Structure 1
Amino acid sequence: MGIFTRLGHAIARAPRLVVILATLATICLYALATVGVNGEGLFQRVTTGPPLVDGSQSWEVTQAQERTADPAVGPRLASYVRDARPDDAGVQAAMEAALARIAEVDHVASVATPFAGPPEARAALVDATGTGFLVDVAFADPGDDALALHEEVAAIMAGAVADMRASQPEATVLTFSGPLVFDDFTHQLERDLVTGELIALPAALIVMVFVFGGFLAAATPLTGAIASIAGGLAVLYGFSYLLDLDQSAVNVVTVLGIGLSIDYGLLLVSRFREELHRLGGDPREARDEALVRTLSTAGRTVAFSGLIVAVSVGGMLAFSPEMIRGIGGAAVGVVTTAMVAALTVVPAVLYLLAPRIVGAGLLARLPGVRRVVSVTSNVDREDGAFARLATRVQRHPWLVMIGATALLLLLASPVLGLTLRNSDIEALPVGNERRDYVVAFEEGFPHLVEPAVTVHSLESPAALADWLTAVAELGGVAGVEEPVVLEGETFVGVRLDTTDATGPEAASTVREMRELPADVTINVGGAAATQIDFIDAIAEGALVAGALVVVATFVLLFLMTGSLLVPVKTLLINALSLLATLGVVTWIFGEGNLESLLGFTSTGGVETYVAVIIVAFGFGLAMDYEVFLLARVKEYVDAGESNDAAVRKGLQRSGRIITSAAAVIVLVFLGFAMGDLLMIKEVGVGLAFAVLLDATVVRLLLVPATMTLLGDWNWWAPGPLRRLHQRIGLTHE
């Protein structure tokens, strides 16, 4: 008796106990993730900031800046008051009262304004138009109270500007600080997560109602999804103690868990209903055998699919940037959670609901809907729309294969112009106060904008003189600032002749700086340098990660099919499909198409780590559907069917599940794409298109065409490997 057969018998003996334990576990895991063990939940433990690579030059510069910073000084807060002339009496009166209140705030060390201090310093705080000014507040280290104190000062400044409007009716204020930026990202992520779930889960339920013809059967996969969300958040919380998790990891990994849970739930519900129909009679009497048979077939497929998806996303652990490793490790945990929930919670609920999910539900009795549901929810036919589609494909396999391949290559063509970017504040939605501050500050105070490049060395400024002279002569350099020595370490700001700090011109100049010969060790940092180091690290890790995933996937598919050609074909087709997806993402986000429709502003490229996520997660989801199809086809082959008949029947049995699951998961991803954070939007749109493309062009056309052309060669392997598969391969119980 196999493991899945034993699991089916165990759940059938105590289904209510499984549901009760799962419910309690879900509540506890959700509480753990949101509240934490010490009152610090997941959203308080995630971080934000530039994606640094340990040991790189940009990382060395950042470490040096943190090392030489005054530990007694906390993060600063700046308020830019606009359309309020500083020489206006009403403005001065409002600011005098506000500054008195700010001085009373805990931990405030100093306040710089254009109303007091040396004339040069005062003039520097008035903007280029003369109609706005800056208020810079420095804090002694406030510890964990930084956000509350910054919000208090921001509220005081907002009140002061409200008073100014008596004489300056257009006056506005924009406030910026590190804690406020972090808080904005945190709350935006939480809002986007809620928005995604509110859109995705109801939409998924509607689709599944048509798939199963009733609400109870449709709601069953959602039980696994809910348990998966709680478990996934708890897994993320645990990983936050091992790795620095970026804030976006919460949404990105959660949406993967929801999608997989629904995929697996659909497969199990469909197979369970199919087995009940096959057995006939009273569902109460047949449900034990139906559940065991479901887990020994579809449950095995779920476990195998989960393993392959875990391998796919686990490849991210081979990258050196901790940000990527954090997402990869958390994704492995969430995939495992989704798989476990699908193999325990969903079967238990199915067993309990068996008498009520066999026949058509209330929806099927509604006029006008009955005919649609009778087709979409049918589970007892081996001939149908998908079988007929497979028959047409098998009549013209060469034509279908060439046409599908040409389409994928056309969609992939924008990849040739792909530009990878690391966004910072621009990842926040347009209209966000912190983002608006940065734009306004760069226009109003160009003389106060930090240099785009920071040079660091442990040597004295004199030792850097010749190298700095060579830097000043580079075409992309606008100027080199005077060196500053802090704690015996030298820092030099370099201004570039471009307004795009991470654009191609800035990156080219940084590379030229790094290639200049120097007699001492020099590190070049800044936004462009950080981006270069991150992209280089991704390129290095991609080779190792890709090799590991390809080898592992090849081995797993061989164990499943006993074939050498099917794994090779699958890897080639999936690679082409992913290139097509990246091409579409490049066309939309890199080239700025569909901005108004999707509600974003292009940064001129695709987020670097988003490209990695789309490839890793997209490959995993593609393998998910490939396993669904291959498992059913192989089942028919093992039962003695010919290759072409097995393809037709396998596509008929799995096609409805693949397209239904794809429709649901596309809605899930698009629900999250309705959020406002740029990287989440890119991930949502990218993965939605990847799934849509895979479930239509690839699984319904390209795969049947290639399997038809290969014929019996699909299942070929050399004699020694064939015997090896007979001993250790995965076979149906």
Structure 2
Amino acid sequence: DGAFEGMEVYASGGAVFANAINGRIQNDLKISEAVSIPLTFLLLLFVFGAMAASAMPLIVGITAILGTLLVMLLLTLITDVSIFALNLTTGLGLGLGIDYALLIVNRFREELAKGLDDESAIVNTLRTAGKTVFYSGVTVVLTLLSLTFFPQNFLKSMGYAGAAVVALAVVGALIPLPAILALLGARINKGVVRKGGIVQKEDGRWSKVARFVMRRPIGVITASLAVLFLMIAPIANIKFSQVDSGVLPRGDRAYIASQFIADEFPGQESNPVEIVFPNGASQTSEINAFLSQVSATQGISRVGQLELVGESARAVAIHSMQPRTSEGEALIKELRNLSAPDGTLIGGAAADYADTQNAISSTLPAVLGWIIITVLLLLFAFTGSVLLPIKALILNFISLAATMGVLTWVFIDGNLKFLVGDFIETGSLDTNTMVLIAVVAFGLSMDYEVFLLSRIKEEHDAGNSNVDSVAMGLQKSARIITAAAFILAVVFAAFVISGVTSIKMMGFGVAFAILLDATLIRAFLVPALMRLFGDWNWWAPRSLKRFQINH
């Protein structure tokens, strides 16, 4: 590939595409990290208002990433690990490491502000924020482990890497971080750059927002759902495909070569349907009849000559549509429904895509079942409520549908290119990336649900009314939830810089889901619904109350 004796030579094929996308991802990752880490520190400085406090979450986040890179190295000894796992590891490691440390450091400073000594402040911090981080981490880990249910190595490696980095972020926030805070004590507020970041208010802006929402719960719920369903509407146009050269930038040599072949040579010459007959030497008449049916199938441009090797036979069929699309999948299904000789096998890029889609669709019920059951059980154990876990699940699925709708509007309809950067419109979304976005976004949404409910429950357990508990809980947690969400969104949004469309889509999709969840869902819908439910928020049958974990 390159200049040769006055000619410009372009190489194409699977190996060339893999090399091109791997190289771009590695380079894009360096740029994303160079952008996100300094931005993250500046945001932490704004939130905490002190240099020492701002450094703690960043240390935990970077340590979680380094630890996970070691785990991924060990994983490569026993299984394949996708290059895309690097992006997920960086995003989740830095983001959640910062989120969890943010919660711990903020609570420690809050306890110190009450006049407690260093040791008592650490004990109270771990009893409250530590418990929240533990439950939140377990919820996210179990959600991400559902990716290992899929047979594809791409999703499996994402599940292993994602679960590992979250687990390490939790360990970092619960063991070394409290030890560092105990050593620092009141010096955690050293290097003050913004006094407003140190002062903790009991009744501030977020409390007023919550009380406003709870005075008009039905109106807020109606308006919020209207906005969400407006976002969900474009999902009607969603179509799925698989990663091919179309995810590369227009100027990439691998894309140029692939597009030249597609434009100048009719049919998918480089991606034929492979038809194998293991006992073909004794089935020639049946094979010829079958190949005639294949040739007459709509979408097939031509069928190659039958090749015999020993007892086996092989033929290729050139088709006109892109192989890794719904049209290619439909063609494979049609060919497999034809009357064929015993033992006939149909393969190739289109067949690979069809089998992948079938594997994903057949595994989804188990994945959904796992996520729903584990989330319901964990949230019940955490809150002791029957209603709150169900409400959390429903809101998360609505939020997820809104994210899918917006991704369709942006990456299929081609909107907001000024924001996400230029990309090739293929008219479809990569299935694997969409599954990844859905699972990661769902896990992170539950993360913020646990953050919020922990403070609301703490206020309720202290004897406050339902309305006061929600208002005070939102006041004490919303600043941290919003800051954590914004920081995590910045980390993932940095992937929009990537020239690879699927990475760009993952970054935008997760960032959008996080911001939507931390604002419209947690700040408006949750308080409004909890106001309507009243004391039913905390109800559970007496026989189930014994399963609530209070320590």
TM-score, scaled relative to structure 1 = 0.72
1:649: how far off?
Answer: 0.6
Q: Check 1:485–1:346 CA distance in 2 against 1; reply closer, same or farther (3 A cut).
A: farther
How far does the alpha carbon of each residue in 1:107-145 deviate from its partner, in whole angstroms, 9 at most, with x for none? Answer: xxxxxxxxxxxxxxxxxxxxxxxxxxxxxxxxxxxxxxx
1:277–1:358 contact (8 Å) kept in structure 2: no
Q: Of 305, 308, 316, which aligns to 1:485?
A: 308
Q: Which moved more, 1:317-326 or 1:394-403?
A: 317-326
Mapped contact 1:451–1:493 kept (Cα < 8 A): no
Aligned to 1:496: 319
Cα distance in 1 for residues equivalent to 2:403 and 2:376:
22
Are the aligned partners of 2:247 and 2:423 in contact in 1 as well (CA < 8 Å)? no
**Aligned mate of 1:652, from 472, 475, 490:** 475
Residues 323, 353 of structure 2: 8 Å contact kept: no
Select the residue among 380, 387, 397 that pairs with 1:575. Answer: 397
Q: CA-to-partner distance for each residue in 1:406-445, whole Å, 9 max, x for gaps?
A: 2112111222221111012333333222222222233445
Distance 1:255 1:581, change over 3 A: same
CA shift, 1:176, in A, is 4.2
Distance between the aligned counterparts of 1:338 and 1:329, measured in 2? 14
Q: Does 1:507 align with 2:333?
A: no
Aligned-pair CA distance for 1:181: 4.1
Q: 2:90 corresponds to which letter in structure 1? A: T
2:59 alignment counterpart: 223
Q: Is the 8 A contact 1:595 1:602 kept in 2?
A: no
2:372 is the counterpart of 1:550: yes
Instruction: Show the counterpart of 2:30.
Output: 194
Q: 1:235 to 1:517 in 2, by over 3 A?
A: same
> Does the residue aligned with 1:400 lie in a helix, a strand or coil?
helix
**One-letter amino acid of the structure 2 residue matched with residue 426 of structure 1:** G
Structural mapping, 1:251-262, within 5 Å: 251-262=87-98
Cα–Cα, structure 1 residues 594 and 526, in superposed 2: closer, same or farther, change >3 Å? farther
Q: Which moved more, 1:427-436 or 1:630-639?
A: 427-436
Q: What residue identity is the alignment partner of 1:482?
A: Q
1:312-327 aligned within 5 A: 312-327=143-158
Structure 1 residue 448: Cα displacement: 9.2
**Alignment match, 2:439:** 616
One-letter code aligned to 1:195? I
Letter in 1 for 2:377: V
Q: Which residue of structure 2 lines up, in the alignment, with residue 588 of structure 1? A: 410
Larger CA deviation: 414-423 vs 518-527: 518-527
SS at the partner of 1:490?
strand
The CA distance in 1 between the partners of 2:120 and 2:224, in whole Å, is 41
CA distance in 2, matches of 1:495, 1:596: 38
TM alignment of 1:312-461, pairs within 5 A: 312-358=143-189, 361-364=191-194, 374=196, 377-446=197-266, 449-460=269-280, 461=284
Distance in structure 2 (CA, Å) of the matches to 1:462 and 1:641: 83
Q: Residue 448 and residue 328 in structure 1: after superposition, are their counterparts in 2 closer, same or farther (change >3 A)? A: closer
Say if 2:52 and 2:189, in contact at 8 Å, map to a contact too: no
In structure 2, which of residues 350, 358, 382 is the aligned counterpart of residue 560 of structure 1?
Answer: 382
Q: Distance in 1 between matches of 2:310 and 2:159?
A: 38
Q: Distance in 2 between matches of 1:518 and 1:178?
A: 29
Partner of 1:77: none
- Contact kept, 8 Å, 2:266 with 2:320, in 1: the verdict is no
Preserved CA contact (<8 Å) 1:484 1:491: yes
The equivalent of 1:530 in structure 2 is 352
Q: Determine if contact 1:595/1:601 at 8 Å carries over to the other structure.
A: no
Partner of 1:718: 541
Answer whether contact 1:673 1:680 (CA < 8 A) is retained: yes
1:50-100 per-residue CA deviation (whole Å, 9 max, x = no partner) reads: xxxxxxxxxxxxxxxxxxxxxxxxxxxxxxxxxxxxxxxxxxxxxxxxxxx
Write out per-residue CA displacement over residues 586-625 of structure 1, whole angstroms, 9 at most, x where no aligned residue. 1111222234542211222111111111111101100100
Residue 301 of structure 1 and its aligned partner are, at CA, apart by: 0.8
Question: Is 2:448 the counterpart of 1:625?
Answer: yes
Contact 1:233 1:254 (8 Å CA) reproduced: no
Matches within 5 A, 1:23-422: 154=1, 158=3, 160-161=4-5, 164=6, 171-176=7-12, 180-279=16-115, 286-358=117-189, 361-364=191-194, 374=196, 377-422=197-242
Q: Which whole-Å CA distance do the structure 2 matches of 1:329 and 1:441 have between them?
A: 38
**Counterpart secondary structure, 1:247:** coil
The structural deviation recorded for 1:311 is 0.9
Could you tell me whether the CA contact under 8 Å between 2:21 and 2:248 is conserved in 1? yes
Given the superposition, is the C-alpha separation of residues 650 and 223 from structure 1 closer, same or farther in structure 2, using an over 3 Å criterion? same
Quote the Cα distance in structure 2 between the aligned partners of 1:201 and 1:650: 30
Aligned-residue offset at 1:178: 5.5
Aligned residue pairs total 547
Offset of residue 232 of structure 1: 1.3
CA shift, 1:454, in A, is 1.7
SS at match of 1:494: strand
The separation in 1 between residues aligned to 2:371 and 2:75, in whole angstroms, is: 22
**Which stretch has the larger CA shift, 333-342 or 553-562?**
333-342
Equivalent residues of 2:62, 2:93 under 8 A apart: no
Can you list the C-alpha shifts for 1:320-341, whole angstroms capped at 9, x where unaligned?
A: 2232222112211111111111
For residue 451 of structure 1, report the CA deviation from its aligned partner: 4.8
Shift of 1:175: 3.3
AA partner of residue 260 (structure 2): A
SS in 1 for 2:275: strand
Q: Which amino acid aligns with 1:640?
A: G
Give secondary structure in 1 for the equivalent of 2:10: strand
Evaluate the alpha carbon distance shift between residue 378 and residue 645 of structure 1 in structure 2; reply closer, same or farther with a 3 A threshold.
Answer: farther
Percent same amino acid among aligned pairs? 36
Identify the residue that residue 298 of structure 2 maps to in structure 1.
475
Please give the alpha-carbon distance, in whole angstroms, between the structure 2 residues aligned to 1:490 and 1:709.
69
Work out the CA distance in 1 between the residues paired with 2:391 and 2:26: 41
Answer whether contact 1:248 1:679 (CA < 8 A) is retained.
Answer: no
Deviation at 1:180, TM superposition (A): 4.7
Tell me the C-alpha RMSD between the 2 structures: 1.9
Change (3 A) 1:488 1:389: same
* 2:540 partner amino acid: A
Distance 2:62 2:108 in 1: 20
Q: Is the 8 A contact 2:530 2:537 kept in 1?
A: yes
Q: Secondary structure at the match of 1:363?
A: coil
Q: Deviations over 1:326-358 (max 9, x none)?
A: 211221111111111111232233233333333
Change (3 A) 1:448 1:199: closer
In 1, the alpha carbon distance for the partners of 2:79 and 2:207 equals 48
Q: Tell me how far 1:293 sits from its aligned partner.
A: 1.4
Question: What's the offset of the Cα at 1:386?
Answer: 0.6
Question: Alpha carbons of 1:362 and 1:334: their partners in 2 closer, same or farther (altered >3 Å)?
Answer: closer
Structure showing greater radius of gyration is 1
Report if aligned partners of 1:222, 1:262 keep a CA contact under 8 Å in 2: yes
1:640 correspondence with 2:463: yes
Offset from partner CA, 1:225-247 (integer Å, 9 cap, x none): 11011011111122222322221
Cα distance in structure 1, aligned partners of 2:80 and 2:210: 48
